[in-house]
Amino acid sequence: MALESAGGSIIAMLAELMVEPVGRQFRYMFCFNNFAQEFKEQKENLVSAKERLQDDVEAAERNAEKTYKDVKKWLEDANNQIEGAKPLENEIGKNGKCFTWCPNCMRQFKLSKALAKKSETFRKILENSTKFKIVAQKAPPQPIEFLTSKEFTPSESSKEALEQIMKALKDDTVNMIGLYGMGGVGKTTLVKEVGRRAKESQLFPDVLMATVSQNPNFIGIQDRMADSLHLKFEKTSKEGRASELWQRLQGKKMLIILDDVWKHIDLEEIGIPFGDDHRGCKILLTTRVQGICFSMECQQKVLLRVLPEDEASDLFRINAGLRDGDSTLNTVAREVARECQGLPIALVTVGRALRGKSRVQWEVASKQLKESHFVRMEQIDEQNNAYTCLKLSYDYLKYEETKSCFVLCCLFPEDYDIPIEDLTRYAVGYGLHQDAEPIEDARKRVSVAIENLKDCCMLLGTETEEHVRMHDLVRDFAIQIASSEEYGFIVKAGIGLEKWPMRNKSFEGCTTISLMGNKLAELPEGLVCPQLKVLLLELEDGMNVPERFFEGMKEIEVLSLEGGRLSLQSLELSTKLQSLVLIRCGCKDLIWLRKLQRLKILGLMSCLSIEELPDEIGELKELRLLDVTGCQRLRRIPVNLIGRLKKLEELLIGQYSFQGWDVVGCDSTGGMNANLTELNSLSQLAVLSLRIPKVERIPRDFVFPVSLRKYDITLGNALGYEYYSSTSTRFYWAGTSLNAKTFEQLFLHKLESVVVRDCGDVFTLFPARLRQGLKNLKEVFIDNCESLEEVFELGEADEGSSKEKELPLLSPLTKLRLLVLPELKCIWKGPTRHVSLQSLNFLELGYLDKLAFIFTPSLAQSLPQLQTLNITACGELKHIIREEDGEREIIPESPCFPQLKNIFIQRCGKLEYVFPVSMSPCLQAFRTWNRCRFIMLTI
């Protein structure tokens, strides 16, 4: 039987051999060990590639990036093949090492063939891995409104409403939910919390939110949703955009939050799918009017009630700063809180207004609240107490200029991000500026007023420090105050007007009119406004302002006009103008500006009709600010126009405007153009923004005025670079040569930010002789400078005065980014004992082919604020901290980075370790890898 079995195996083997080429037959029979070795090597290569790619994927996911589907598929296939090969590995161990004519012969032949086939499979999969240069893409950023909110304070009412809404979101029979309640009760805060939880629990892949307001702007709502969806509209009409949005949303599982709905809205007109045919798309709306929930056919209607007395009292006490044991004010505090009627916005604003006040002031406030007869708003009678409370907060504002700033904020449209710079320019003309004080002082006072208003919740912060917002209830209240006889405001901003809205109205007592945010297509021929001081308009593009429109406005001091066309001759009688701001306006007859001798602020922003500034502007002896940002066709500024503006404090030209600076003696435009030396005639110049396209435009031995406090100077090509910010002190140098002497004479000691791009002839950016000019440096960004070898040349420690030696170099530096510098050998050259990186919190290094180390041991001692360390593709990097200081100085203790939260290191093949063992006590959460190729850690 054994012989028959052996014979059968041999016959089967011979049969299989007949279908294989002779050479391959021989290898299968006699080269088993070779096949086994190749199998092992190919498997190890695939395992290594899989682990590296998996590391990349995990790092990308920690960095909130979305892994590509083909990368996930490759990892799955590779893992399946590796796992599926385990039986073959077991067979290798069992197989005999020699070849004999026995039953093992056939098994060895088949195993060799199987190993060869599997090795080929491994090789093909491994080849496919080389195409994955990038494994993930940045995931769409989480909308700011759905980030964890400190504003959400759970109460019994909000908890109950939240539970009802979340239950309805999970109910397949409900696709429209209405949350209603009085203004200021916290509806917006609650639905933001709903959106956050819906995303966090993955109940909906996408959550969109848009504010509707009293006068819905459907185009704006469509834009907001498209931004969240990363959708670029191809059509411009509202109907076309609605169709594109509908197609994008149709069939998707999505939550859409429509906040502050005042009347029935046609969702189809916006492009939002709804109804039984689109149950995956759920809509949550908020409104002050319960009837809206019925008209919008909400299947679930949820009431957000005001706070019960005990919860209201707790919220009030927190904002009033009352301690639990503060019995002297407990009684009156309960009375005041009771008068706020459980309305969160009133509790917060009144509480903060009375924080730190005396008992007498508390008692007076309580009496005012009880006896107030403050006029009710027409729309919502039940809000009387809320407005009474806001009135009390307003009355408790300490300074008149804070009150004035508050009412100026209501001039902007509802739900508007109010630019603080615009407020400043209006305030200067409105009278919040003393003739002798610099504009910067007025800007600071406006900022202080804004902080005071934010502190008492009468203004809200935004995502940027340059803007503020007004809660719509607070804005309604502010308009009510501003419309009183005391102020005389008329505010109809952002309500979609096309015609002048007040034809039969008397303007005898009117001081301020705001019609910004509209698209007026007609204006009255003339208005009699004998007391009008401020006029803010937005017109349809191409609409002409009537020549006699301003004749009855002889007291006007502030005029802001966006869009339309204007002849400056029509302003010849408005001689009290102090602030004139024209935006995207077709301007002509600019020579008539000479009539406006009291003008302090002149803004001609994005006025594409302006090709030349008239020489007559030089006659404006009181001018403090000149802004021609975005005037892309401006080619000529007459010589000595700028030099004659002796009181000029701020000159803003920007990169998308005038660039035709002449060197003294040149005549390149058919008439002498302005030259940079005129700036030195302006002894009060403090803020400057301009672009110099070529080094040759800089006069010999020119130095920027030492009086500059803020500046944004661009040298060379800087396409795509953002406009000037009033908080910037920045030098941008791109794509042009600049020798050391020229750079030195341009260098400014107040420099805070330096951006250098595409400069090929720079070897040392900051030479030693300029090191004392770095004492205010906060940010450095260097990109694609192919010759740069050193960033900071530090020089000897004993250079400079004794006072200078007391201040460690680079102490203010907070951010350093160095990218694509193939010749960079060291960041800091020279002794580093007198350098301190005590403020550095962000360091990014990428594509530095010759950098061997980052910090010396002494520098590593001065990094208490470092939070983020990103290193990419530094092929020669061996150590983050060099082992030897090189300065013959003993370092007394190990480096310690107490604030380090993020480390991202990839493609650094020669890096021996991340941190030395001596640092382990300071980095409990970190481990050390030898020969690491990729690390991403987040603490």
DSSP collapsed to 3 states, 166-184: HHHHCCCCCCEEEEECCCC
CA distance 756 to 733: 5
Contact criterion met (CB below 8 Å) for 739 and 760: no
CATH classification of the domain holding 273: 3.40.50.300
Say which range, 500-509, 555-564, 803-812, has the weakest mean pLDDT: 803-812
**What token pair was written down for 571?**
């302003």
Q: Does residue 64 have a pLDDT over 50?
A: yes
The total number of residues shown for the chain amounts to 939
Looking at the structure, tell me whether residues 430 and 387 fall in a common domain.
no
User: Can you tell me the mean pLDDT for 482-490?
Assistant: 90
Q: Does residue 725 have a pLDDT over 70?
A: no
Number of alpha carbons in the 13 Å side-chain half-sphere of residue 724: 28
pLDDT bin (cut points 50, 70, 90) of residue 582 is very high
Is the Cα torsion angle 905, 910, 911, 917 positive or negative in sign? positive
Domain boundary among 396, 427, 446: 396
Within a domain: residue 512?
no
pLDDT of amino acid 30: 56
Q: Express each pLDDT in 268-291 by its tens digit.
A: 899 988 877 677 789 999 988 888
Contact criterion met (CB below 8 Å) for 594 and 571: no
Looking at the structure, tell me whether residues 209 and 355 fall in a common domain.
no
What is the full DSSP assignment across 496-550?
---S-S-TT---TT--EEEEEEEEE----S----TT--EEEEEE-TTPBPPTTTT
Q: Does residue 351 have a pLDDT over 70?
A: yes
pLDDT of amino acid 939: 36
CA distance 912 to 934: 12
At 187 the three-state DSSP class reads helix
Task: Tokens 């080389």: give the residue.
Answer: 130
Q: Does residue 63 have a pLDDT over 70?
A: no
Looking at the structure, tell me whether residues 391 and 403 fall in a common domain.
no
At 795 the three-state DSSP class reads coil
Q: Where are the alpha helices (DSSP H) in 584-708?
A: none
pLDDT bin (cut points 50, 70, 90) of residue 749 is low
Looking at the structure, tell me whether residues 126 and 52 fall in a common domain.
yes
pLDDT of amino acid 886: 56
Within a domain: residue 706?
no
**What token pair was written down for 72?**
């996930």
At 638 the three-state DSSP class reads strand
Q: Express each pLDDT in 654-665 by its tens digit.
A: 878 998 888 864
User: Can you tell me the mean pLDDT for 726-739?
Assistant: 70
pLDDT bin (cut points 50, 70, 90) of residue 768 is confident
Looking at the structure, tell me whether residues 274 and 288 fall in a common domain.
yes
**What token pair was written down for 67?**
């892994």
pLDDT of amino acid 3: 41
Q: Does residue 509 have a pLDDT over 50?
A: yes
Contact criterion met (CB below 8 Å) for 494 and 520: no
Q: Express each pLDDT in 866-893 by its tens digit.
A: 999 999 999 999 989 887 655 554 454 5
Q: Does residue 321 have a pLDDT over 60?
A: yes
Contact criterion met (CB below 8 Å) for 316 and 340: yes
pLDDT bin (cut points 50, 70, 90) of residue 377 is very low
User: Can you tell me the mean pLDDT for 648-654?
Assistant: 93
**What token pair was written down for 356?**
């730190």
Contact criterion met (CB below 8 Å) for 641 and 615: yes
CA distance 364 to 382: 24
CA distance 298 to 292: 9
Point out which residues pair with 835 in neighbouring strands: 809
CA distance 165 to 191: 9
Domain residues for 897? 763-796+808-938
pLDDT of amino acid 917: 65
CA distance 664 to 292: 69
**Mean pLDDT computed over every residue of the chain:** 81
* pLDDT above 90 as % of the chain: 30
Looking at the structure, tell me whether residues 181 and 298 fall in a common domain.
yes
According to DSSP, the β-strands at 467-469 and 460-461 are antiparallel
At 445 the three-state DSSP class reads helix
How far does Cα 842 stand from its chain's mean position?
17
Q: Does residue 417 have a pLDDT over 50?
A: yes
CA distance 786 to 788: 6
Within a domain: residue 885?
yes
Contact criterion met (CB below 8 Å) for 204 and 255: yes
Which residue would you say has higher pLDDT here, 188 or 43?
188
Whether pTM > 0.75 for this model: the answer is no
Contact criterion met (CB below 8 Å) for 621 and 605: no
User: Can you tell me the mean pLDDT for 31-60?
Assistant: 80
Looking at the structure, tell me whether residues 121 and 213 fall in a common domain.
no
What is the full DSSP assignment across 132-174?
-S--EEEPPPPPGGGS--SS----HHHHHHHHHHHHHHT-TT-
pLDDT bin (cut points 50, 70, 90) of residue 922 is low
Within a domain: residue 513?
no
Domain boundary among 467, 483, 513: 467
Looking at the structure, tell me whether residues 244 and 315 fall in a common domain.
no
Q: Does residue 194 have a pLDDT over 70?
A: yes
Within a domain: residue 289?
yes
123-132 LR contacts (CB < 8 Å, sep 24+): 123/42, 125/46, 125/74, 125/77, 125/78, 125/81, 126/42, 126/45, 126/46, 126/49, 128/74, 129/49, 129/50, 129/53, 129/74, 129/78, 132/53, 132/56, 132/68, 132/70, 132/71, 132/74
CA distance 189 to 425: 32
pLDDT of amino acid 762: 81
Q: Does residue 370 have a pLDDT over 80?
A: no
Three-class SS string for 189-217? HHHHHHHHHHHHCCCCCEEEEEEEECCCC
Angle CA 128–132–133, to nearest 5: 140
User: Can you tell me the mean pLDDT for 245-249?
Assistant: 87
Q: Does residue 198 have a pLDDT over 70?
A: yes
pLDDT of amino acid 153: 65
Q: Does residue 799 have a pLDDT over 60?
A: no
Residue 468: which of 397, 402, 396, 419 has the closest Cα?
Answer: 419
Q: Does residue 150 have a pLDDT over 70?
A: no
Question: Which residues have C-beta within 8 Å of that of residue 333, sequence separation ≥ 6?
Answer: 313, 316, 317, 320, 322, 362
Q: Does residue 410 have a pLDDT over 90?
A: yes
Say which range, 78-87, 816-825, 844-853, has the weakest mean pLDDT: 78-87
pLDDT of amino acid 442: 87
Q: Express each pLDDT in 673-709 by its tens digit.
A: 899 999 999 999 999 999 888 888 888 888 888 888 8
CA distance 231 to 244: 9
**What token pair was written down for 8?**
């059968």
User: Can you tell me the mean pLDDT for 790-802?
Assistant: 67
User: Can you tell me the mean pLDDT for 353-368?
Assistant: 84
Within a domain: residue 739?
no
pLDDT of amino acid 742: 65
Looking at the structure, tell me whether residues 333 and 449 fall in a common domain.
no
Within a domain: residue 868?
yes
The residue type at 622: E
Looking at the structure, tell me whether residues 390 and 423 fall in a common domain.
no
The H or E element spanning position 853 is: strand 853-855
Within a domain: residue 524?
no
CA distance 433 to 430: 8
Contact criterion met (CB below 8 Å) for 603 and 627: yes
Domain boundary among 431, 452, 467: 467
Looking at the structure, tell me whether residues 202 and 281 fall in a common domain.
yes
Q: Does residue 615 have a pLDDT over 90?
A: yes
Looking at the structure, tell me whether residues 23 and 123 fall in a common domain.
yes
Centre a 10 Å sphere on the Cβ of residue 677 and count the other Cβ atoms it contains: 18
Say which range, 345-349, 366-370, 606-610, has the weakest mean pLDDT: 366-370
How many domains would you assign to the chain? 5
Contact criterion met (CB below 8 Å) for 796 and 833: no
Q: Is 870 exposed, middle or buried (0-12, 13-18, 19+ CB in 10 A)?
A: middle
Is the Cα torsion angle 84, 87, 91, 94 positive or negative in sign? positive
pLDDT of amino acid 697: 85
CATH classification of the domain holding 329: 1.10.8
Please state, in angstroms and as integers, the Cα–Cα distance from residue 527 to each residue in 268, 492, 549, 553, 716, following that order: 41, 17, 6, 7, 48
Say which range, 131-135, 239-243, 512-516, 580-584, has the weakest mean pLDDT: 131-135
Q: Is 402 exposed, middle or buried (0-12, 13-18, 19+ CB in 10 A)?
A: buried
